[in-house]
Amino acid sequence: MDHISQPEEASSRSFPPRPESVASARHFVRAALAGADPDAVETAELLVSELVTNAVLHARTEIDVSARALDGEVRVRVADRRPCRALVPQRSLAHAGPGQGLAMVEELASAYGVDTDDERKAVWFALRSDGRPPPPSGWQTAEPACGPTRTVSLVDLPGALYLAAQGHQHALLRELTLAAFAGTDTGVRPEDLAIAHDMNNVLVAGMTAALGEQPSDTQGHSLNVSLPADVARALPTLRQVLDAAERLARNERLLVWPSLPQNRVFRQWLFDQITGQFAGGPPTAWTVIPREPSASPSDLVPWDASHAWASRVPTIAADDENRIIVANGPAADMLGWQTGELVGQRLTVLIPEHLRERHMAAFTRLLRSGQPHILGRSVPLPALHRDGRLVPVRLFIQAQGTADGRTVFVAQLAPRTAPPVPAPLSPGESRAASPEQPGGPDLTQSPERIATSAAGDAAGGAALERRLLADIGESLSSTPNLDEGLQRVCRILTRRLADWCVVDLLNDSDQLERFCVSHHSPTPLPAEAYAGRLPPVTGAARGPLARVLRGAGPLLLTEPPEPSDARSPLDAHYVELFERVGANSAVVAPLRTRGAVFGALTLVRTGRNRPFTEDSLPLIGDLVRSLALGVEHARLYQETRHIAERLQRSLLPVLPEIEHLQMAARYAPSSTTAQIGGDWYDSFVVPGGKTAVVIGDVAGHDLEAAVAMSQLRSMLRGIAIDREEPPDEVLRRLDIANHTLSQEATATCIYALVTGPASGPWELKHSSAGHLPPLLTTREGDTRYLDGGSGLLLGMEPDMPRPGATDALPAHSTVLLYTDGLIERRDESLDHAMDRLRRHTAALAREPLDVFCDELLIGLSADSADDIALLALRPVPRG
């Protein structure tokens, strides 16, 4: 080997595999290169430090260092006696960990390489100052036979998540090693730490080699990784050492954050796959293992800022320093900012003041402990508008990995009067796939593909077409969410009819928006090809899409539109899409109902697949008629639901201002059903000066429930103000009035009066019609349910007398009225749910009422399947 043999003028020395050898090797190189260019000597010292550190950590054999200066060139080599341990340059990681020395050699050396024989592995580098062109460099070398190996299959490996987990694993081991060298008692034996470093390097070398054989643009891999046959014996030690490092990090004894949940889940899966397959078990795909909410299948989607900018869903992303890196147009509009103004600001600019301290504590706790609270869950929260008002939103936050292993926190916001936020964007579709509805079409299968051309399609073609049309109709009718329904339709069409499916719809302002893109091609597309607003349909637009939107079609395109025909931004956008997907044919068809066109469906076939022909048009005509009808029904359903939601929200009152009585209230629609309900709260002052408080819940989740709620609320106010009566009598009269309605409502309700002078003492006189009891929490954190005065639901026996109750209200105590959506969960007893509520209110007993209410929603209402209304009151003595 040319580089392993050294000329006579080179100085050489051997060093033991101890940390002290790093400094000794640096001093040796400085002495050996005396008289050489000072800059080159300093660089050589730096690179030798890195290479000897790697040898100490990973080879753990005697280390040979040689250095010489000759004819304006400095040449250094570092050799170890463990050639089987391959080099692993960490070029892609943002984390500074073992292996970074090789990347530094690449950046600073004029030439570099590695030579391996049966006994040694030598890394060398050269530094030149004479301007001569460097020879070719690289780390490639023929690996010696190092004993038997085994192959592990990693199915659906998430590339971005692997990089993030790998980078953090390096950081944990590095910091643990530094702590041990400093004499800190880490609880890890030195020999176990050495094995862990060695095993980690072996795994990374195997993974790097396997990933190097994959296409660079592939994000989800199924890899066959070759590993030494003895790796399974050392893997438990690596697990134990990493677990110990995690504990130290959580206790802030290492200068590194603990792993985020998705990193821990991934590491567990990776180690289990190696252990299980070495024992003869089958591989288990990453995409099918159970996960914590914040380690969901969307972690397969790597962070791409361009997709967030282009999304129609209000989206905000922040880095691990709590700084906003993306706030797209819909999010900026919702919160009163101009697009781009929020980038670079702290996330707290969007958080109400009473929640900022809580946010910073939770964010810091997440980074320090790795324990999530609201990641991967849908949580109702107020956001801060630029003008200072609060905007009720439902927040869905996920952690996504970047291509270089960093973590980005991505939040999607939905107004609480809108349906739940759809799943995050994925590279393959405009919406990430969501679990199918029970009883809906099975979209995980791949039925027979419909050819739709004249040759050879007669046999069985009609049956396949009928099944396709039936499944299209069922996909739209089985979900009230239009976005989700269109996504399902696109997925069906790209399995059975086309390679690409695009749905564009006109909104209420006649602006064109891309609602759905689905495809099978691995070709990456720019963000503008995904869901988002398209250029306007101007008079100059003459392309296929513009023609269809004006009533033409279906149009058969047997070749892409000519770029010279693109006379408007919309035409140019459409031409670009065709060029990028490599279309051999397409059909563009109008979506129309009642004679008006409101959108277009584009189906594309690519490559060598059979192109669309004139024979394809009848089926596609039937398809778009069915699709248009389904879209119209979905839009009508959403419009009806939004009317009811606006009605429901318009009835939520402004709470009265009482000098000695603080009050706060919240309302949050369901996060999972996207439906409205009959939950309501109310408060007003009755004649005589007493304060009335009300909470209620009408059975049902539809427009009728919202209307019945508004009727009951209005009648209750009228009855209560008509004359001064105790709460039990008011509820009795309300039940009688309810009985006179054309559609009598079944509902629960609490009506209560707060009595007492401004300086106290105070009492709560109350009666309940089948509602959950109020919860009293004292300033000291003692809790008690006020379960007196409980009677039948409204709508059952209107003539039956109703009970009442009176309870004392200590100063600074908090009374909480709430609906069942706050606490009830499927497969959980009511007793457990009520105990959980008591624990939460006790912990919040001294918080301001706004914080009290918002914390309850954060802690208890994530992913609630029911609407939630809550009303809290607190008597405060004057002065």
Assess whether pLDDT exceeds 80 at residue 329. Answer: yes
Whether residue 702 contacts residue 644, with contact meaning beta carbons closer than 8 Å, is answered with yes
**DSSP for residue 112:** E
Distance in angstroms (rounded) separating the CA atoms of residues 43 and 33:
11
- What is the average pLDDT across 452-469? 60
Distance in angstroms (rounded) separating the CA atoms of residues 304 and 601:
26
Highest mean pLDDT among 97-106, 122-131, 459-468 belongs to 122-131
Weakest mean pLDDT among 33-47, 72-86, 407-421, 540-554 = 407-421
Highest mean pLDDT among 89-93, 442-446, 542-546, 612-616 belongs to 612-616
Give how far Cα 105 sits from Cα of 90, 93, 242, 657, Å.
12, 16, 28, 70
Predicted local distance difference test score (pLDDT) of residue 443 = 33
pLDDT tens by residue, 159-179: 777 877 888 888 888 888 888
Predicted local distance difference test score (pLDDT) of residue 188 = 92
Assess whether pLDDT exceeds 80 at residue 530. Answer: no
Assess whether pLDDT exceeds 60 at residue 531. Answer: no
Predicted local distance difference test score (pLDDT) of residue 470 = 77
Assess whether pLDDT exceeds 80 at residue 803. Answer: yes
Residues in CB range of 828: below 8 A, 6 or more apart: none
Give how far Cα 297 sits from Cα of 169, 220, 404, 434, Å.
21, 11, 19, 10
Distance in angstroms (rounded) separating the CA atoms of residues 665 and 654:
9
pLDDT greater at residue 499 or residue 402: 499
- What is the average pLDDT across 405-412? 80
Weakest mean pLDDT among 309-323, 380-394, 561-575 = 561-575
Distance in angstroms (rounded) separating the CA atoms of residues 600 and 628:
9
Predicted local distance difference test score (pLDDT) of residue 740 = 79
Secondary structure in 3-state letters for 140-157: CCCCCCCCCEEEEEEEEE
Distance in angstroms (rounded) separating the CA atoms of residues 42 and 20:
19
Report which of 290, 319, 154, 146 is spatially closest to residue 221, judged by C-alpha positions.
154
Distance in angstroms (rounded) separating the CA atoms of residues 459 and 450:
11
pTM, two decimal places: 0.57
Whether residue 82 contacts residue 105, with contact meaning beta carbons closer than 8 Å, is answered with no
Whether residue 314 contacts residue 334, with contact meaning beta carbons closer than 8 Å, is answered with yes
Q: Extract the tokens encoding 283.
A: 């591989």
Q: Extract the tokens encoding 144.
A: 């010696």
Confidence category of residue 397, pLDDT binned at 50, 70, 90: confident
pLDDT tens by residue, 430-455: 333 333 333 333 333 334 556 554 44
Distance in angstroms (rounded) separating the CA atoms of residues 77 and 7:
12
Whether residue 92 contacts residue 128, with contact meaning beta carbons closer than 8 Å, is answered with no
CATH number for the domain running over 301-415? 3.30.450.20
Is the Cα torsion angle 633, 636, 640, 641 positive or negative in sign?
positive
Distance in angstroms (rounded) separating the CA atoms of residues 403 and 760:
62
Residues in CB range of 380: below 8 A, 6 or more apart: 392, 393, 394, 395, 416, 666, 668, 671, 857, 861, 868
Give how far Cα 323 sits from Cα of 269, 303, 318, 351, Å.
31, 16, 5, 13
Neighbours of 295 (CB within 10 A): 24
Mean pLDDT of the chain: 80
Neighbours of 44 (CB within 10 A): 27
H or E segment and range at residue 484: helix 482-496
Weakest mean pLDDT among 130-144, 339-353, 762-776, 837-851 = 130-144
Predicted local distance difference test score (pLDDT) of residue 484 = 76
Instruction: Provide the percentage of residues in the chain whose pLDDT is more than 90.
Output: 27
Distance in angstroms (rounded) separating the CA atoms of residues 347 and 357:
12
Q: Domain 461-641, CATH 3.30.450.40 — does that match? A: yes
Distance in angstroms (rounded) separating the CA atoms of residues 176 and 89:
21
Report which of 96, 129, 85 is spatially closest to residue 110, judged by C-alpha positions.
129
Fold of 11-128: Heat Shock Protein 90 (3.30.565)
Confidence category of residue 64, pLDDT binned at 50, 70, 90: very high
Weakest mean pLDDT among 252-266, 483-497, 524-538, 671-685 = 524-538
pLDDT tens by residue, 198-218: 888 888 888 887 877 765 444
Residue position matching structure tokens 């706790």: 365
Neighbours of 18 (CB within 10 A): 11
Predicted local distance difference test score (pLDDT) of residue 709 = 83
Give how far Cα 647 sits from Cα of 223, 710, 711, Å.
54, 8, 12
Predicted local distance difference test score (pLDDT) of residue 876 = 93
Whether residue 186 contacts residue 251, with contact meaning beta carbons closer than 8 Å, is answered with no
Assess whether pLDDT exceeds 90 at residue 872. Answer: yes
Whether residue 153 contacts residue 224, with contact meaning beta carbons closer than 8 Å, is answered with yes
Report which of 825, 814, 821 is spatially closest to residue 851, judged by C-alpha positions.
814
The length of the chain in residues reads 879
Confidence category of residue 10, pLDDT binned at 50, 70, 90: low
pLDDT tens by residue, 283-295: 887 766 655 544 4
**DSSP string for residues in 729-774:** HHHHHHHHHHHTSSSPPPEEEEEEEEES-TTS-EEEEEEEESPPPP
Question: Pseudo-torsion of CA 91, 92, 94, 99, nearest 10°?
Answer: -40
pLDDT tens by residue, 735-746: 988 887 756 678
Residue position matching structure tokens 């064109």: 512
Distance in angstroms (rounded) separating the CA atoms of residues 11 and 657:
87
Distance in angstroms (rounded) separating the CA atoms of residues 553 and 590:
6
pLDDT greater at residue 568 or residue 63: 63
Residue 630 phi, psi (nearest 5): -65, -40
Predicted local distance difference test score (pLDDT) of residue 422 = 38
How far is the first Cα of the chain from the last one, in angstroms, to the nearest whole number?
Answer: 90
H or E segment and range at residue 831: helix 830-843
Weakest mean pLDDT among 289-303, 400-414, 559-573, 622-636 = 289-303
Fold of 651-875: Phosphatase 2c; domain 1 (3.60.40)
HSE, side-chain direction, 13 A CA sphere, residue 732: 12
Confidence category of residue 8, pLDDT binned at 50, 70, 90: very low
H or E segment and range at residue 236: helix 231-250
- What is the average pLDDT across 255-281? 87
Confidence category of residue 45, pLDDT binned at 50, 70, 90: very high
Is the Cα torsion angle 752, 756, 757, 760 positive or negative in sign?
negative
Question: Pseudo-torsion of CA 630, 635, 638, 639, nearest 10°?
Answer: -140
Helix (H, G, I), strand (E, B) or coil at 365: helix
Strand boundaries in 35-189, DSSP class E:
63-70, 73-80, 111-116, 121-128, 149-158
Assess whether pLDDT exceeds 90 at residue 710. Answer: no
Assess whether pLDDT exceeds 90 at residue 314. Answer: no
Q: In a 10 Å sphere around its CB, with 0-12 CB exposed, 13-18 middle and 19+ buried, how is residue 289 labelled?
A: middle
Strand boundaries in 435-538, DSSP class E:
500-506, 512-519, 532-533
Confidence category of residue 727, pLDDT binned at 50, 70, 90: very high
pLDDT greater at residue 781 or residue 209: 781
Q: Which amino acid is at 448?
A: E
Assess whether pLDDT exceeds 80 at residue 253. Answer: yes
H or E segment and range at residue 489: helix 482-496
**DSSP for residue 848:** -
Give how far Cα 203 sits from Cα of 60, 82, 643, 690, Å.
17, 16, 57, 72
Bridge partners, 512 (sequence order) = 506
